[in-house]
Amino acid sequence: MGGKGLPGVNFEITPMRLEDLEEVLAIEEESFPVPWSKASFLYELLENERAFYYVARSDGKVVGYIGMWMILDEGHITNIAVAAAYRRRGIGRALLQYLVGASKRLGIRYLTLEVRRSNIPAQNLYEELGFVRTGIRPRYYQDNQEDAIIMWKGPL
């Protein structure tokens, strides 16, 4: 699948491969106070049969990624991030839209995620794509004990 954000930024979305990991880890490091480890991503790609991960690639470079666990007919979005230099160009939106389509093909009816209470831009994007706030996970984030807002979308 291809996408187009701001002028001059063309990208395609494909399944994440082992060869993508170094670039994914660099984005993970710049995006999150407590980034996932290489071992965590290796487990997801090699051992977790219920994990689905995709990358957005522009000119051969990984510029964003998204992941999900399939649990019965639900998809739990584990992470989504876009490289700082490529943010606000439609890549995050395209990754989410791609995941919704992939979820439908997998028979997933509902998607859920957690988002930091302070991450208003992400919350706005999720709401624009049909996610609704359904609850709070108090002190969910280990780096600063910030609450997470639980959001759901569905039925797809």
Residues annotated catalytic, as ranges: 114, 126
d(CA 133, CA 127): 8
d(CA 145, CA 131): 24
d(CA 69, CA 48): 9
Q: Identify the CA nearest to 57 among candidates 106, 24, 97.
A: 24
Q: Which residue type sits at 4?
A: K
